[in-house]
Amino acid sequence: MSERSEGTAQHSERSERTVQQGERTIQKGGRSLSLDAALRVERPGFVLDIQLTARPGEVVALIGPNGAGKSTALRALAGLEPLSAGVVHLDGETLDDPAARVRLRPEQRPVGVVFQDYLLFPHLSALENVAFGPRAHGVAKRQARTLAQEWLRRVGLGDLASAKPGQLSGGQAQRVALARALAVEPRLLLLDEPLAALDAATRVDVRADLRRHLSAYDGSCVLVTHDPLDAMVLADRIVVLEAGQITQEGRPAEVARAPRTTYVARLVGLNLYRGYADGPVVRLAGSGEVTVAQPSTGEVFVAFQPSAVALHPERPAGSPRNCWPVTVSTVERHGDLMRVRLAGVPPVLADVTAGAVADLGLTPGTQLWAAVKAAETRVYPA
């Protein structure tokens, strides 16, 4: 009897598991119109190991310092880099699964790539470049050319169809590259530093254009960039990659507000410290301490804006709870303000006006006092 009931219990457990699996399958069905990848690429002295997903219509930005493995991840998705382990699913189809000896060649993958320096075929006109993909997919020549002309029109280059890549400006070449990648109607679009080759003035326009095209695109999109602004403007979700690992992931606003690594903090221009909170005082991991407005306990991050840092030639009398001696290391222009990098315990970034730089005589080596009001700090659990 008891055995039986155990058996029943087991059975129900199993059926529950089946249901769960069914749900997961359904979820996968829901997720099946998307990218779902686990990438592991091993090279001497470097290992990339990340999980990456992207829903249809979602733009995911891979952001990270040079050598973090961003481009390697992109190449692995495109099939240009073999996986050491992992799996790439796209819309329920397996593109890569080394364990099962499945590996679709790049030309077999429904993936479009915009390369960093575009790699437009120099001997073909803009139109022929865009028509290349459809032609390779077996579209008749005339039809492919019509299609290409339509794509060029869509990216605003309808009248440059016969131009060779060498005659195009950087921004125009970028648009042709985008049209070329989209003309094969990929289900996954990969962009490797799509704006890095452009000068600052062109960049603003092309970025806005790219944003428009990406929001019109209904497949999944993974974008590699080292520019936080590109990521903020273009992406629905940011994945921070450092030394082959994901260190933070979230919506752009979340990542910007609550960075979890020094790299991200520097990227978004925040002072970030990790420490141990004991009430209103956080003892920092490096050394030094910060008094904060929201008391808490345990491992926390403390963040505050560089503009919240006040600089004084003498120790200020009065209210600021955090006040410590610092030495100027560098002064750089940052938008309308000057960003001052200060050595001290802890080191800190401060934004001041050009007038203040002159008044305080800020040059590398100047000794000052930095002050931050507790109310300007933000604390969140590590």
Produce one character per residue of 193-231: b if its CB has 16 or more CB atoms within 10 Å, e if not: bbbebbeeebbeebbebbeebbeebebbbbbbbbbbebb
Binding piece for another protein, criterion CB under 8 A, among 117-125, 142-150, 272-280, 353-361: 117-125
Count of residues that bind another protein according to CB under 8 A: 23
Among 3, 107, 314, 336, binds another protein (CB under 8 A): 107
**Which residue's CB is nearer to another protein, number 184 or number 281?**
184
Torsion over CA of 250, 254, 257 and 261, rounded to 10 degrees? -20
Cα gap 148→151, rounded to integer Å: 5
**CB–CB of 174/197 below 8 Å?**
yes
177: left (phi over 0), alpha (psi -120 to 50) or beta: alpha
140 binds another protein (CB under 8 A): no
369, β-bridge pairs: 312, 325
Binding piece for another protein, criterion CB under 8 A, among 74-82, 149-157, 288-296, 302-310: 74-82
Among 60, 69, 90, 132, binds another protein (CB under 8 A): 132
Peptide bond preceding 313 in cis form (omega within 30 of 0): no
CB atoms within 10 A of CB 72: 21
Among 137, 153, 212, 333, binds another protein (CB under 8 A): 137
**Which residue's CB is nearer to another protein, number 179 or number 379?**
179
Among 122, 298, 318, 335, binds another protein (CB under 8 A): 122
CB atoms within 10 A of CB 267: 23
CB 270, min distance to another protein, A = 37
80 binds another protein (CB under 8 A): yes
CB 42, min distance to another protein, A = 20
**Which residue's CB is nearer to another protein, number 176 or number 265?**
176
106 binds another protein (CB under 8 A): yes
**Which residue's CB is nearer to another protein, number 122 or number 298?**
122
CB 134, min distance to another protein, A = 9
119 binds another protein (CB under 8 A): yes
Pairing of strands 322-334, 367-372: antiparallel
Among 19, 85, 136, 375, binds another protein (CB under 8 A): 136
**Which residue's CB is nearer to another protein, number 139 or number 256?**
139
* DSSP codes joined into one string, 342-377: EEESS-EEEEE-HHHHHHHT--TT-EEEEEE-GGG-
DSSP label at residue 315:
P
Measured between alpha carbons, how far is residue 35 from residues 91, 110, 193, 242, 379 in Å? 6, 11, 20, 21, 34
Measured between alpha carbons, how far is residue 306 from residues 257, 303, 309, 315 in Å? 13, 10, 6, 19
* DSSP codes joined into one string, 155-173: TT-GGGTT--GGGS-HHHH
What is residue 135's three-state secondary structure?
Answer: helix
35 binds another protein (CB under 8 A): no
Among 35, 41, 68, 78, binds another protein (CB under 8 A): 78
**Which residue's CB is nearer to another protein, number 87 or number 190?**
190
* Contact mark string toward another protein, 143..182, x via CB under 8 A: -------------------------------------xx-
Among 15, 18, 121, 150, binds another protein (CB under 8 A): 121
Binding piece for another protein, criterion CB under 8 A, among 78-86, 206-214, 253-261, 349-357: 78-86
For residue 285, the surrounding DSSP H or E stretch is none
CB 346, min distance to another protein, A = 44
370 binds another protein (CB under 8 A): no
Cα gap 122→142, rounded to integer Å: 21
Binding piece for another protein, criterion CB under 8 A, among 132-140, 165-173, 200-208, 242-250: 132-140
133 binds another protein (CB under 8 A): yes
Secondary structure in 3-state letters for 48-109: EEEEEEECCCCEEEEECCCCCCHHHHHHHHHCCCCCCEEEEEECCEEEEEHHHCEECCHHHC
Positions that interact with another protein (CB under 8 A): 78-80, 105-107, 109, 111-113, 115, 119, 121-124, 132-133, 136-137, 180-181, 184
